[in-house]
Amino acid sequence: MIDMSDLAAAILARGNQTRFLRISSWYGDQLVADTLPVADATASETVVRADTVPERLTFQVPRRDRGVDYTPIGVQHPLAANGQRLKVELGVQTGIRDDGTPNVEYLQRRWYVIYESQPTGDTVSVEARGLLWLIQEARMVSPYQPSGTFTTAIRGLIEPALTVVFDPALTDRAIPAGINYDDDRLGAVQALLTAWPAEGHVTEDGYFSIGPATDAAAVSLALTAGAGGTMIRANGDSTRDGVFNAVVARGTTSDGGIVQGVSYDITSPAAIGSPFNDLPVPLFFDSPLLTTQPQAQAASVTRLATLMRRSAESYDVTMVPHIALQEGDRVTLTTDLLDGVPGIVETLTLPLQAGGGAQSLNVRRLT
């Protein structure tokens, strides 16, 4: 959840709100457009937490506005795809000033890099991607052999494209010799995070933040349907596809021995011995970064927790837009069928302007 004042939080919780959108364009450290003239109800943000680059932004602007031509011609044009980054801010009206103008509290939603701008008729359609796109497209031209520790290896893969920030709760450790990654830079980062174990995400300020892989944070937002609530409806779904109730993590010691860690699901509806299946349904995970049994065990625990999150009951939620809600946030769902069910936001689509309609979420039940 993006930080905001108590007043803004109370206004958003009521659902009756006046929102404002501000998108600025930057080329390097230079501001090239303070506020883009986004056409009404065209701006939308979609985030899929499981994707390698989770965030996507789309909007349209008039081809000409107040004497400015927004056809993306020129290296430093605000809508050119030459490294231009977009800063997206959403505001909520918190009152009226003495001069009659609205008092607006802006929240920084996130940063994007322009992927494509296409003029069609009198408009220009813009698509932008989350900042991890910079890492995904930067495939390595020669094999990468990390040395040092997990911290230095990840910095070597990501910086200076993105600044990496590590949670002090993580325990750094040495990278075993002989590790080699071919050309997938972002894949190498994900392999390191999985084996550490840790999780990373791009913050609203544009940093790549890495911390312990856990869903243990407190519930951040209550979503309630009916009178006085902000949720319009919630529909559930269920599947056996991709459901596992055990993880086997394997690695290799420095002298060639095999180490293994195994974790079992004994609590969720898919637990071993439950009606789901009396037998283990395992996922096998091998990594040369695991060189001791405790490391393999920790990796199996983290991977199982991720699988349990993704295979839990899923709810599609339609709600009044909440400009501070992000993927990974904890929520509770209360409807005529759900009584304060805890969940985590896995995907979201947020219309960034008034008139853009309702916000949609996919929420996975926390077990």
Q: State the pLDDT at residue 94.
A: 93
Q: Quickly state the pLDDT bin for 232 (edges 50, 70, 90).
A: confident
* 60-92: pLDDT as tens digits: 999 999 999 999 999 999 999 999 999 999 999
Q: State the pLDDT at residue 270.
A: 87
Q: Is the pLDDT of residue 98 over 60?
A: yes
Ramachandran sector of residue 357 (left: φ over 0; alpha: ψ -120 to 50; beta: rest): left
Q: State the pLDDT at residue 168.
A: 95
Q: Is the pLDDT of residue 15 over 90?
A: no
Query: 264, 268, 146: which is closest to 196 by C-alpha?
Result: 146
Q: Is the pLDDT of residue 266 over 60?
A: yes
Beta pairing partners, 89: 22, 108
Q: Quickly state the pLDDT bin for 202 (edges 50, 70, 90).
A: very high
Q: Please name the residues in contact with 73: beta carbons below 8 A apart, sequence gap of 6 or more.
A: 80
Q: State the pLDDT at residue 158.
A: 97
Under CATH, what is the fold of the domain 139-211? Phage tail protein beta-alpha-beta fold (3.55.50)
Domain ranges of the chain: 6-130, 139-211, 221-238+316-365, 246-311
Q: Order of strands across the sheet with 208-211?
A: 164-166, 208-211, 199-202
Weakest mean pLDDT among 87-96, 163-172, 219-228: 219-228
Q: Does domain 6-130 sit in CATH 2.20.28? A: no
